[in-house]
Amino acid sequence: MLGFYIFQFVPIVIVEGIVLWRMKWASLPRSMFDSLMMNFASFLGLVLGLGPYITGSMPMGLTLFGTYSFMVEGTVLMLLESKDPKLVWACALTANLLGCVLLAVEALVGAIPGIFSQP
Is 52 part of a structural domain of the chain? no
Query: Whole domain around residue 64: which residue ranges?
Result: 31-38+59-101
Per DSSP, the residues of 58-102 read: HHHHHHHHHHHHHHHHHHHHHHH----HHHHHHHHHHHHHHHHHH
pLDDT per residue over 35-70, tens digit each? 999 989 888 877 776 666 655 556 677 777 778 888
Total structural domains in the chain? 1
Residue 78: inside a domain: yes
- Measure the CA–CA gap between 4 and 9, rounded to whole angstroms: 9
Give the pLDDT confidence of 14-33 residue by residue, as tens digits: 999 999 999 998 899 999 99
Residue 68 lies in a domain: yes
Asked whether the CA dihedral 30, 105, 107, 57 is positive or negative, the reply is positive
Confirm whether 74 is domain-assigned. Answer: yes
Q: Give tens-digit pLDDT for 72-109.
A: 999 999 998 888 999 999 999 999 888 888 877 877 78
| 109 located within any domain | no
Asked if the structure places residue 23 within a domain, the reply is no
The model carries a pTM of 0.77
Q: What angle do CA 109, 110, 116 make, to 5 degrees?
A: 85
- Whether 76 maps to a domain, the answer reads yes
Within a domain: 63: yes
All residues at 6 or more sequence positions from 36 whose CB lies less than 8 Å from its CB, including other chains = 13, 17
